[in-house]
Amino acid sequence: MLRPLTPSRCDGVNPRKPDMKTPILVILAMLSALLFATTTAAQTGPSPVQDVLQEHRALLEKSSRKTIGPAIDAIALSGLPQMQGVLEAWRAKDVWQRLDDGLFFIAKKNATGDYDLTDFDSGQVVGTAPKKQLKQLKPNSGIRAMIATALVTFQLTDPDPEKRAAALVSLTRDPEAALLPPLRASIASETDEVLLARKSRLERLMTMAYDTDEAARVAAITEMAGDLSLDFRATLNPILSTKLVAAKADEAANVNIAKTLLPGDEALPRDEAYALLVKQDLTAPLVTAADRNAALVANIKEARVGGIFVQRLNTEVARDEAYAALVATGVAPPILSITEVDAILANHQFFFAYQEPSSAVTDAARKALDASETNVAANQAIDLGLDALSLASIYFLAAIGLAITFGVMGVINMAHGEFIMMGAYTGYVIQQVIPDHTISIIVAVPVAFGVTFMAGVALERLVIRWLYHRPLETLLATFGVSIVLQQLAKNIFGTQARPLTPPGWLDGAWVINDVVSISYIRIAIFVLALLFLALFLFIMKRTRLGLETRTVTQNPRMAASMGINPDRVNMLTFGLGSGIAGIAGVAIGLFAKVTSEMGGDYIVQSFMTVVVGGVGNIWGTLAGAAMIGTFQKGVEWLNPSNTLAAQTFMIVFIIIFIQFRPRGIVALKGRAAGD
């Protein structure tokens, strides 16, 4: 019996095994359709970032610094948080455009060499493309700078405080009116007190410059009136900038005039006033002799000009007649007389006009700037006083040892500057042994005192003790010693300046405000000078050496008869003065160059300080240092470009001062005074 054929058997398919290819193909087709639909939805669905970019597509494709501004502003001010990533990727040259549809993506090269395309809105990779199908946006340095400014809008509220601080720096460097609203909006959410203060101050400054509300600008200016900072004055200066303008009398009513000028005054000569009218196309230029001659040449016809033969135009009168004929026919402009020029000038008004149209703003800015300049002047006086005090401290340290030796012994020690130099080099050597700058300075002070004390004792015992009461020989001998010590220093340390590095805690300056500041090193020297003043007073008032020194100063013979050895007192006193000079050298070396000649920079000032103050008196030395330091800084302030002038005037001043007060500010009785 034959069984009928079934389709399955006719197709050669085993009916017991299902066909697996068809379901798999169906599933793959469904997945492909789903993926295509997802991709299409991702690319064609709501895409606010892509909409903004496509709106300015032409500008982005052109990528010109001159025209790209509107596109950057639209991106920054769109209000979309994703735009920060767009700007950052654009600045990093990671933005690419797909050529077939013009869409923009963040493109990154993958392992296969193609580029993964990341959508700006979703942040997801939505496809890949080979490089030939993409175009990279390559912003130049100018566009990157504009992008950096635009990023400020987002960075002002960034969670990272460093980014917020960087945004403030960028905004301060390149402020714009469009960035004022986001700056104001960021103040409410600012949690860092320092950044909050900076934002608030910058908001006030930008309000002055860019706010459209006149009352807000005036309020901000009035609030900060008298401020000392440079940024405040720099903000006001453009508001108060002026330009010279000419206008008809009836057209000047709506102009914000700063100052009215009259033609013919020193500030506005008549020629300049008329030239201003010509420049503003308010009148015709004056006809000069050259213009007249050029018109005559241009209008020669049949050997005549204005009916006059050319041969006759050999005089000024004939040329004027010929030109008048041209004027009469309307060929040439007339030559104006002085009266006519004055009439034209009288019909116009000349003035300096503010660039700022609001008179209320400029009035407030002028008052605020005047108050600021007054405060600046007062603080400059304080700053000058601090500089003078600092210089006086240096002179006092350098002169205090000389005041002791000169006042007590009457010895003109020209080698005193070299003891200062020895102290500075001692500090340098100590720093080579002890690398810690704080410890090395602490060690260097007593070591420098000991070294220069022994050197002073040796100088007194070997040289000076044989030359008492012979001032000229003493001066020459100590001058020779100074030369020897300088050459010895050159042989040991060379001619190159050596560094005496201050401790790290002395770096920088104490900044009181934008005008007044003083370096920590100078503060330390001032404190050191006060300590030495207190130490000297203690030695002179509370110790046996001080009592004997004062006794020998007043009456050496009577002191000797009372059992005091004047030679021993002189030796110790000279050593004490030399030791103090060594400590002064360490202090001075912290900010001055340490060379073999550094003592010569202070020996003259030291002698002048002692002589002006009063020989042998510590209070006189202090007063002399204050007077000389103040006078020198005052002269330098009047003529800052010439420090030599300050030295010269100071010497002249001292010579005149000594004529009226030969014993100094605080006269001392005794041997040093010549009694």
> How many degrees, rounded to 5, is the angle at CA 493 between CA 488 and CA 499?
135
Which residue's entry shows tokens 């240092």? 625
d(CA 476, CA 48): 92
| Angstrom distances, CA of residue 322 to CA of 286, 293, 318, 331, 337 | 18, 10, 6, 12, 17
pLDDT at residue 407 in the model: 65
d(CA 397, CA 591): 14
pLDDT at residue 39 in the model: 44
Using DSSP's 3-state secondary structure scheme, residue 261 falls into strand
b/e map 338-349, b = 16+ CB within 10 Å = eeebeebbeebb
Is the Cβ–Cβ distance between 612 and 665 less than 8 Å?
yes
- DSSP tag of 178: G
pLDDT at residue 374 in the model: 92
- The neighbour count for residue 300, using CB atoms within 10 Å, is 13
pLDDT at residue 208 in the model: 94
pLDDT at residue 518 in the model: 87
Phi/psi of residue 61, each to 5°? -70, -40
State which residues of the chain have pLDDT below 70: 1-46, 407-409, 615-616, 640-645, 667-675
**SS3 readout for 521-567:** HHHHHHHHHHHHHHHHHHHHHHCHHHHHHHHHHHCHHHHHHCCCCHH
Phi/psi of residue 242, each to 5°? -130, 165
Q: DSSP string covering 78-89, please? A: S--TTHHHHHHH
pLDDT at residue 451 in the model: 94
Could you tell me the residue ranges of all domains in the chain?
46-143, 156-239, 242-359, 379-660
Q: Which CATH architecture has domain 379-660?
A: Orthogonal Bundle (1.10)
pLDDT at residue 364 in the model: 94
Relative orientation angle of helices 230-239 and 359-409, to the nearest 10 degrees: 140
